[in-house]
Amino acid sequence: MITVRLIESNGYDAPRLLKLHASLAIISNVMNSPAFMDAIFDARFHFRRSFSRWIDKPYSNETVYAMLMRATEATGNTGSYTMELHLNLIDGSNGSVKGYGIPNSPEIYTYKARFDEMTTSEMANHIVHEWTHKLGFTHAEYPMPLGKRNMSVPYFTGNIVEILADTYFPLQKLNNYK
């Protein structure tokens, strides 16, 4: 079982913080569900290669699931089964990009304009996607075919959290707080 723990949140006013906490509850509910485990075990992950050499290590689905649940981050969290989140809400929107993380840093940044547009399940998707980068998972940049990109661990895991949230926890899907 994984625990979701908000270590710090910067830039969130009270209504946005309420939406953020609802998103974190979704992450906890979904990632601790049998449906999430089944989805990870059944996935066909795409790991990148270049000139016949692996860029991403090709893990088994069971190993990917164990890494997600163990929550061993490259930034210092040593497998505590706790997703430790350092979340920042910042100005800007940068087009379709929801936010970003910085390598070797625990910080995850989300653009206010995108946050305000997202439902709680979409925000959960974004947080999980960025958090998987903290575990060492990567994905190719454009112009990689969308199908392969969506089967990377960050994209697939974030997307499956959103899909399962909308399917099994529809009452938690909240829209904008304005």
Which stretches of 43-119 are DSSP H helices? Answer: 61-70, 112-117
SS3 88: strand
The whole-number pLDDT of residue 23 equals 96
Name the DSSP class of 8.
Answer: E
pLDDT band at 79 (very low <50, low <70, confident <90, very high): low
The DSSP code sequence of 126-155 is: HHHHHHHHHTT---PPTTS-HHHHHTSHHH
Neighbouring residues of 25: CB distance < 8 A, sequence distance ≥ 6: 4, 172
pLDDT at 77 over 70: no
Position 49 scores a pLDDT of 56
Q: CA nearest 115: which of 86, 148, 83, 89?
A: 89
> Residue 81 has what DSSP assignment?
S
Q: Which of 11-25, 107-121, 161-175 has the lowest mean pLDDT?
A: 161-175
Q: Dihedral angle at the C-alpha atoms of 8, 14, 18, 20, nearest 10 degrees? A: -40
Range in 56-60, 110-114, 125-129, 143-147 the model is least confident about: 143-147
Q: What is the CA radius of gyration of the chain?
A: 16
Q: In the structure encoding, which two tokens stand for residue 109, read together? A: 């940044």
Q: Which segment, 19-23, 41-45, 54-58, is predicted with the most confidence on average?
A: 19-23
Indicate whether 164 pLDDT > 90. Answer: yes
Give mean pLDDT, residues 14-38. Answer: 96
pLDDT tens, residue by residue, 28-37: 999 999 999 9
Fold of 3-172: Collagenase (Catalytic Domain) (3.40.390)
pLDDT band at 78 (very low <50, low <70, confident <90, very high): low
Question: Helix or strand or coil: residue 94?
Answer: coil
For the chain, the structural domain boundaries read 3-172
Task: Give the number of other CB atoms < 10 A from CB of residue 65.
Answer: 20
Q: How far apart are CA 173 and CA 162, in angstroms?
A: 10
Assess whether pLDDT exceeds 70 at residue 148.
no
